[in-house]
Chain A
Amino acid sequence: MINQKYFFKGLLSAKGMNSPAVALGASFIAIGALLKNLGFSIQESIFSTFLTYALPGSLVMAESMLIGASLVNIFLGVWLVNSRLYPMTVSLMPLLIHKSQPRWKYYLSCHFIAVSSWLIMKSNYEKIEKEYRIDFWIGIGTATWLIGIFSTVVGYVSADYLNKDMMMGLAIVNPIYFMCAMIGVMKTIQLTSAIIFGALLGPAFYFISPEWCILYGGVVAGTIAFFIGEKNGN
């Protein structure tokens, strides 16, 4: 069903010198502590990371609950911040789809799409034969997902020992990791301009709409970058 050789290869790619484990761990520790302070039980906290596994979404949920937002508002807030997963999926799955593989694998494993796992897959897929990429991907996803769940537990348990400065330190880790990873992938004109324009336009649109700024900024920046890239041979 799942090719074990490639599955374990993917699983093990979560360790190593460029491992996302540290950033992933730190941010889910912060989430675990946050959920405990919100009044979640440990089962509910585990369940939350288990089912959602997308950090900004969980943050939005936590903050919305803090101000007593309705379920509809939580849905909209989460959907808006996690809609970036749509273009991320469309730019990943075509690389993994192979006719010999069953479709359920794709619909199930898309749950693992989050920034860290996505970045690992994007920088490694070329080394794996197309037929087995999905098994490699399931390995990466399982590893990063388990790190997330485990760290949520650690955060929950240690919430009482974390002071404000430590929580702040944990919160900066994730954006810094992603920022450096983004600088690392700026190799073609197209991607470089997508990243630079995105980083500029996202916050710029914040002044127009704080909720929609990621979506607006992302679509405008990505489209500009696409045309710049096509004109200059990618």
Chain B
Amino acid sequence: MATNILLAILVTSIATYSSRFLGVLTSERINENSKIYRWFNCLAYSTLAALISRMIIFPAGILAESDYFIRLIVIVLSILIFYVTKKNLVYPTVFSAIILFFINGYFA
């Protein structure tokens, strides 16, 4: 391993905490009923949505080895389960892993 593990951990945590810290600093001047707050709220949800859809469409790591079509089936089924179970979050999550595990084992 070329990089020192401990240093990598520290660098990662500093890069992560800095955004949180700056967020609190900014928050001290922002009123929850202001327009700027609503803008930040939109940014938070849209960046999250961007991150999640990137994780699914252009996955990194092991997920990249699964087929596009298989991932699409898992997504559609999970959304279906989500609605059938009256918007429960646990069922689709658990089933998504099981569905992917079986479809992948079957076709791969």
Which residues of A come within 8 Å of B, CB atoms? 17-20, 22-23, 26, 30, 34, 38-41, 44, 47-48, 51-54, 56-65, 68-71, 74-76, 78-79, 81-95, 97, 106-107, 110-111, 113, 115, 164-185, 190-191, 194-203, 205-206, 210, 213-215, 217-219, 221-223, 225-226, 229-230, 234
Which residues of B come within 8 Å of A, CB atoms? 1-3, 5-24, 26-28, 30-32, 35, 37-63, 65-66, 71, 74-75, 78-79, 82, 87-90, 92-94, 96-98, 100-101, 104-105, 108
Give the A-B pair count, Cβ closer than 8 A. Answer: 335
A175 CB, min distance to chain B CBs, angstroms: 4
B47 CB, min distance to chain A CBs, angstroms: 3
Centre residue among B14, B17, B19, B98 by max chain A CB count within 10 A: B19
Q: Is the CB of B82 within 8 A of A180?
A: yes
Q: List 23 A-B contacts (CB under 8 A).
A: A40-B5, A48-B13, A51-B9, A60-B60, A65-B1, A68-B2, A74-B8, A74-B15, A79-B16, A88-B23, A89-B24, A92-B44, A94-B37, A113-B20, A115-B48, A169-B104, A171-B59, A176-B92, A180-B92, A194-B49, A196-B49, A214-B54, A222-B47
Q: Is the CB of A18 within 8 A of B90?
A: yes
Task: Report if A169-B101 is in contact (Cβ < 8 Å); known contacts: A61-B8, A176-B74, A180-B78.
Answer: yes
Other 4 A-B pairs with CB < 8 A, given A176-B92, A183-B87: A110-B17, A168-B66, A180-B87, A218-B46
